[in-house]
Amino acid sequence: MGTRGKLPPREVALLKLAHAGRTIKKFGKFIGPGFMVAVAYIDPGNYATDIAAGADSKFSLLFMVLLSNLIAIFFQTLCIKMGSVTGGSLGDNCREHLPKWMFISLYIISEIAIIATDFAEVIGTAIAITLLFKVNIIISVGLTILDVIFVLIFYRPKGASKGLQAFEYAVAALVLTVVVSFCVELSLLKNTNVGEVFLGYLPSKALVEGRGLYLACGILGATVMPHSLFLGSGMVQPRLQKFDEDAGLDVTQTDNGVYRPTLNAIDSCMKYSIAELTVQLFTFALFVNSAILIVAGASLFGNPAADTDLFGIFDLLNKTIAPAAGIVFALALLMSGISAGIVCTVASQISTEGFMQWKISPWVMRLITRILALIPAIAIAAKGGKDALGDALTGSQVILSILLPVISAPLVYITCRQKYMTVSADRIDEKSKNSVSVTARMINEQGVDMSNGLLMTISSVGLWLVVAVMNIALLALIAMGKA
């Protein structure tokens, strides 16, 4: 070969730069779903648990925030894999592969989880309205019915891809508002040791001392939320369909009502979807959750006279830092509640269409979900006032934590089964069949096996057991009166 055909270093560098530019441009087309999923991890429920953890253990439970985000990324990777390979959401796959009594039971449990989630969004948004505009808490709860109805009229999951991307970018703007708010919040903190903050990301005895385990379970339940599994598995299909459309394929052909992507689409899109989601969760979601706990730890730890709830930290930020700090905190809470409410409704629609194949307009689903969440919220606000709402917000996270192992079990089961995670031969074109990478994955001409490998299977089952055991511990603590 010698040196013939070898390009000069300058041309090699230009080619690499051009390749990097094309990769970044393609990655940009996948930005959107990750923001939608990230919203699920920065909702008002996270505020409640992170504030309690910061007030109780200062920065020591930042390790649990980090661990919860890693578990969330792992489960969301499974969701993207399932949604890409099968073309269906978690609900679609449960309906297709599980007995009728089981998938109907899972649907009911999933809707309970979604309503409990929206209940937390109602409370968080109502508290933010009260803090910002001094409105009576009962009126604030009622006003939350207006927060996303008009926005969701424009949500068209089956419409043009540009319209869907515009909707996703609108949610991303809300997330970025929350991030900017907490950047300002952190800049206003005084006398906070940066080294002590970073030490909080390491495991410590605070996890097992006092209320540490209870608070750790609360952070896990508030972070790895059940409804996000439907989002992760149900929002990847538009990009896959667009890829196959551009290749000249008829994407209207479905199998039992579910579009099946080609192997080319899966190989081309799945890695970008996973990368986009990982970036959003490891940056925005991790940052916001950490910031909430840091602000609470710096403001509330060692201050027994302060109330360790959303109202308490607002008052304390106003008095000890500056009035602007309290306003910024309330604004971030409002944006989190609104964006999480939008995403909660999208999750409910994906769940209902997947499990039951009912076609319901997003704004109708918004009304149904929000009314079911509003009724108990108004009742609690009328009877117990602000303090009762704070307790109810924490209680909703306990419900979510308990339901998580039930809803995540079929995700782990289905993605580990070759029977369900095989790309059939009719979805592989002739050119791909002859490629080395595809040939290595072929199983007796039936198709390509894309189920979890041995390491992935062990990891997914192990993490599921961690979540289940932590929730069993949470239930035990509650039963013993230590929670």
Domains of the chain: 32-249+261-421+450-480 (1.20.1740.10)
Please give the structure tokens belonging to residue 174: 């809300």
Rounded CA gap, 316 and 42, in Å?
21
The continuous run of DSSP H or E covering 38 comes out as: helix 33-39
Structure confidence at residue 3 (pLDDT): 46
pLDDT, mean of residues 177-205? 82
User: Which of 35-39, 229-233, 395-399, 472-476 is most confident?
Assistant: 229-233
Structure confidence at residue 16 (pLDDT): 66
How many secondary structure helices (H) and strands (E) does the chain include?
Answer: 21, 2
Rounded CA gap, 16 and 11, in Å?
9
Contacts of 146 (CB under 8 A, 6+ apart): none
Give 20 or 44, the one with higher predicted confidence: 44
Structure confidence at residue 344 (pLDDT): 81
pLDDT at 135 over 70: yes
Residue 425 — very low, low, confident or very high, per pLDDT cuts 50/70/90?
confident
pLDDT at 134 over 80: yes
Contacts of 364 (CB under 8 A, 6+ apart): none
- Residues 99-118 pLDDT 10s: 999 999 999 999 898 888 88
Write the DSSP symbol of residue 8.
Answer: P
- Residues 448-465 pLDDT 10s: 888 998 999 999 999 999
pLDDT at 219 over 60: yes
Give 57 or 462, the one with higher predicted confidence: 462
The continuous run of DSSP H or E covering 20 comes out as: helix 9-29
Percent of the chain scored above 70 by pLDDT? 79
Residue 435 — very low, low, confident or very high, per pLDDT cuts 50/70/90?
low
- Averaged pLDDT score across all residues of the chain: 79
pLDDT, mean of residues 243-272? 81
pTM check: above 0.75? yes
* Among candidate residues 295, 294, 402, the one with its CA nearest the CA of residue 66: 294
Rounded CA gap, 77 and 233, in Å?
9
pLDDT at 1 over 50: no
Contacts of 78 (CB under 8 A, 6+ apart): 411, 412, 415, 452, 460
Out of 343-352, 365-374, 436-445, pick the least confident.
436-445
Out of 56-70, 142-156, 440-454, pick the least confident.
142-156
Residue 77 — very low, low, confident or very high, per pLDDT cuts 50/70/90?
very high
Residue 4 — very low, low, confident or very high, per pLDDT cuts 50/70/90?
very low
